[in-house]
Chains A and B, each alone.
Chain A
Amino acid sequence: MPATGAEQVGPLVIRAWAPWCGVCRTMAPVVEKAAATTGVSVVDLLVDDANTVASDLRITSIPTLIASFDGIETGRLIGAHSEESIYNFFATTRDGERQTRARVSAVTWTLRLAAGGALIVIGTTLASTPVWIIGALIASWGAISGLLR
């Protein structure tokens, strides 16, 4: 990687931003909180002042967060994201794991499967066709979500 501080041993996040970028300013407190909580250092890259470095890092839009561990890029977070996503990004960076695309959580597919199952049972018990059909559709949704994880 170029000389951005990413050669540092351990986890590091490069934050590419610009003062005129509203989303960058909105995300700043969340990023700082996530960095403080996880103990991951953040190196700021002001894209207007470091065009060449931004180009070398293939930064095409801001805000961009680049995760690095022992100088090797492990993932990116581009654009606006929820506090939870940013925290997870930092936590994964801290652990040196490669960032992967967000997948359906166990809570999500379990909830779908349970809700669908409950509706099938209730619908069958009360002989309500719409209820069990909706239940079957939701249970299928849950099963597919679980299988595609």
Chain B
Amino acid sequence: MKKNEGNTDRILRVILGIALLVIGFAVMGGTAGVIVGLVGLVPLLTGLAGSCPVYSLLGLSSTKAAS
């Protein structure tokens, strides 16, 4: 699994994921809350893994070679 996310991208995904997870499971609750929470897991896990399957499919990357 190749890394295709830059650090800023990863941190933003993790923050978004945590926010959705907390809003879904801890604030909203119910079926809608579970759905929001599960949606939040996507950016959270891709951010923590450093690799985004959608980026891979589209040939995108937010990494850059160190200079």
B30 to chain A, nearest CB (A): 13
A115 and B61 within 8 A (CB): no
Contacts between chains A and B (CB distance < 8 A), count: 70
| B65 touches A (CB below 8 Å) | yes
B26 and A128 within 8 A (CB): yes
Residues of A within 8 A of B50 (CB): 108
Q: Is the interface of B mostly helix, strand, loop or mixed?
A: helix
B22 and A111 within 8 A (CB): no
- A134-B17 Cα distance, complex, nearest whole Å: 12
Interface string of B26-41 (1 = CB under 8 A from A): 1100000000010001
B residues contacting A by CB (< 8 A) are 2-4, 7, 10-11, 14, 17-18, 21-22, 25-27, 37, 41, 44, 47-48, 50, 61, 63-67
Given contacts A84-B64, A112-B48, 20 further A-B contacts (CB under 8 A): A33-B65, A81-B2, A82-B2, A82-B63, A83-B64, A83-B65, A85-B2, A87-B65, A111-B14, A111-B47, A115-B17, A115-B48, A122-B18, A130-B37, A131-B21, A131-B22, A134-B21, A134-B41, A138-B44, A138-B48
A residues contacting B by CB (< 8 A) are 33-34, 37, 81-88, 91, 107-108, 111-112, 115, 118-119, 122-123, 126-128, 130-131, 134, 138, 141-142
